[in-house]
Structure 1
Amino acid sequence: MITTTTRTGDSQDSDGKTLRPCCSCPETKKARDACVLANGDEHESCKELVEKHLRCMRNLGFKV
């Protein structure tokens, strides 16, 4: 899948569908949010989940 980043920070996939940061990578976002809420963002296990979510966002073309 090829993505492009727009001025608003949204990305578009190869079909022209707009991807928004808030709705992208729901699996990694859910796991990251649950860990951070339960343990805080500095907890070792959360750091890995945060990085996993950032990788997912970058793979979709978001600049994070």
Structure 2
Amino acid sequence: MGKRSGVPHRDDELHKLSNDELQSELERSRRRLGIARSTKLAKQWQKRIHWLESALVSRDTQ
């Protein structure tokens, strides 16, 4: 899983996204998990999905 320009990789970058952008990134990550070719890559996508979901939930509670 390489780093892409314009895609959040840190909490401060994540906070700049709108809810729609965050939801889109979450969907993209779920699609990528479905095509992960190795267990290591799948774990990285699962970790990212968890991070994005946590951010989404924390926004909803604020």
Greater share of residues in helix = 2
TM-score (norm 2): 0.40
More strand by share: 1
Which protein shows a greater Rg? 1
**What TM-score do you get using the length of structure 1 for normalisation?**
0.39
